[in-house]
Amino acid sequence: KCIWCLKDASETITFNKRAHTIPQSLGGKELCVNVCDSCNHYFGIHHNGLPPVETIIKEAFILSRYRLLNGKNLTEFINRSVELMDNKN
């Protein structure tokens, strides 16, 4: 049974692709066997201009690291990040 859509193999879904618990690009080595191929694909691609889950996790780690290392107010950092993202488009 898929942990996201709650469908099981009897409902014409497959579990052939490897789903990483933490994205592989972030160093994830653990595989999750109960994520169907459709959900695995869905969470790995862009949707309506939104970044994939992998990018969101990466940004969360960056913010946490910045906060721990600098102990500063994040407002300036977040505003700068938004500025950079806006300029990419």
For the chain, 89 residues long, give each residue's pLDDT as a single digit of tens.
Answer: 888 889 987 778 888 888 866 666 666 677 778 888 888 888 777 666 666 767 777 777 776 666 666 665 556 656 655 555 555 54
Distance CA 51, CA 67 (A): 22
Contact 5, 39 (CB under 8 A): yes
75 with 67: CB under 8 angstroms?
Answer: no
Q: Is 0.85 surpassed by the pTM of this model? A: no
Domain map (residue ranges) of the chain: 1-44, 48-89
Report the chain's C-alpha Rg in angstroms.
17
Count other C-beta atoms under 10 Å from residue 35's C-beta. Answer: 22
